[in-house]
A = this chain, B = another copy of it.
């Protein structure tokens, strides 16, 4: 036998099915004596309503579940976004299905489809695929999608982005103001939208100052090697801008390896724990992942609650935190 049903409860309490339904739903028009009998039967049988059947009957009902698809929930940035979303959801009695995409477009599409089949009321997505057009068929029309960290193409929804371009440009200007002329940029593959924006910011600042650019892309887990290559160029850069936290750490290791950590300036995009305890302490362009998660969740819940205007673009300010490594002067 499976779980007890309303019918079992009704039989056990000696009332009709419908009366049990009324009691369970807290309707006022039931004799208190019957309410007590039903309550007792519910407790003794361990009855719990079958959510599927309820949903089926009241087909307007929300599942009070949202999906969250991020790059990698074990990465501090994604983890902080995830946590902020969860807190917003929890406050509204909504639960969260999570998934990590690992830059895999297939996984993105699969998971979005799976969440749709589960009738998630909404989706927060950090796009990885080059195009989100698949949402038109795989996602449920009517349920909102909010994009976070990266813009989407091919599907319309609110978007929450950090000020990648201007934040990077400011940081590079900061280096230029300290006299650096050879400033190298080490970023993620240009396939990734944030990597492109940050590179644009770097170019903006360099062009503005009439300086030549020097860019490299760090392959997955190959940041240290890529940084080593840059730092052993004949005309070694005097400053390095690293466009993502794992890359910053890779560059850090490369600088240590070459004993250059006090001679080559370094600014990284995205803060990380203990950056202030390193030697030298690391200057970063800090994002506010918690604010991004919060903003995304708020936008999503507004949409779920019926807000229906044009898609919005929400900018979350980055902040330059000078700690030392970005204030080193050129030799």
Contacts and interface: CB of A to CB of B under 8 A. Distances in A.
Nearest to A245: B273
Interface stretch (A75-83, A163-171, A317-325): A75-83
A270 to B, nearest CB: 13
A212 to B, nearest CB: 31
Interface in A89-108: 90, 95-100, 107
Contacts of A56: 50, 52-53, 56
A49 B79 contact: no
A60 to B, nearest CB: 8
A46 to B, nearest CB: 6
A43 B136 CA distance: 12
Contacts of A278: 274, 277-278
Contacts of A49: 117
Interface stretch (A125-133, A177-185, A249-257): A249-257
A118 B65 contact: yes
A140 B88 CA distance: 27
Interface in A234-289: 249, 252-253, 256, 272-274, 277-279
A306 interface: no
Nearest to A82: B73
Contacts of A25: none
B114 A86 contact: no
A5 to B, nearest CB: 10
A1 to B, nearest CB: 11
A87 B253 CA distance: 29
Interface string A26-62: 0000000000000000010010111111011001000
Contacts of A3: 140
Number of copies: 2
Contact of A86 (B73, B90, B252, B273): B73
Nearest to A96: B98
A46 B116 CA distance: 12
A204 interface: no
A213 interface: no
B73 A79 contact: yes
A72 to B, nearest CB: 7
A48 B277 contact: no
B76 A83 contact: no
A210 interface: no
Contact of A59 (B2, B72, B114, B256): B2
Nearest to A98: B98
Contacts of A2: 59
A299 to B, nearest CB: 20
A232 interface: no
Interface string A106-122: 01000100111111000
Interface of A: 2-3, 43, 46, 48-53, 55-56, 59, 65, 72-76, 79-80, 82-83, 86-87, 90, 95-100, 107, 111, 114-119, 137, 140-141, 249, 252-253, 256, 272-274, 277-279
15 contacts: A3-B140, A51-B52, A56-B56, A73-B82, A76-B76, A79-B79, A86-B98, A95-B111, A95-B115, A96-B98, A96-B99, A97-B97, A252-B277, A253-B277, A256-B277
